[in-house]
Structure 1
Amino acid sequence: MDAVLHALADGGRRTLLEALGRDEATAGELAELLPIARPGVSRHLRVLREAGLVEVRQEGQRRVYRLRPEPLAEVDAWLGAYRARWEQRFDALQTEIARGKRERRNES
């Protein structure tokens, strides 16, 4: 999971993943999304591939990339415990805010 989190830490790589979440794309199409030279895009794609977030297939001279959602599901599951804890805290905060509003109305 460390490799996935490292890959997700970069905004450019997240941009590439968002595009691949919509549809497959060639390396050239993905390169158009970032304001960096093609070798930099290739490095980003290599990091994503090594983290297991994308897979690539060769179609003639083109490389076509596709998102692999399984590693993202693992991160989501790991974050689930933290999400549940924060949801409980936000629910408690919402209750306190509603209580404060009721008390102010009753005082008026």
Structure 2
Amino acid sequence: MTRDLAGFRIKSRRLAGGGSVVVSVLGDVDIATVPQLDAVLTEAAADAGHVIVDLRAVTFMDSSGLRLLVRKHQSARDSGHIFALGKPVSETVQRLLELTAMDRMFVFDDLP
């Protein structure tokens, strides 16, 4: 599935074996695009026990984007699922994660 919004794109794909879904994000993750990303991540979590978010092509992320990732991580943990960020992430996202010390909280998986 692919969703587009003025330079922002989300694409999800199921990995072989069916237990994992990769959600790839391109563009700015901000207050305008978070609702679309939230919907795709919610759908992916309902379909798979392991969600990997590919943030290599994210050019900007504000606090609403970070808050969404934290919320999805906590929800997955509470339900016994895995919510991981694909590594590597973009430099922009890496800097945000390091500044907020969230790089220590998230699980990071190598991207397939």
After TM superposition, the score normalised by the length of structure 2 is 0.27
Higher strand share: 2
Answer with 1 or 2: which has the greater Rg. 1
Higher helix share: 1
Higher relative contact order (CA closer than 8 Å, sequence separation 6+): 1
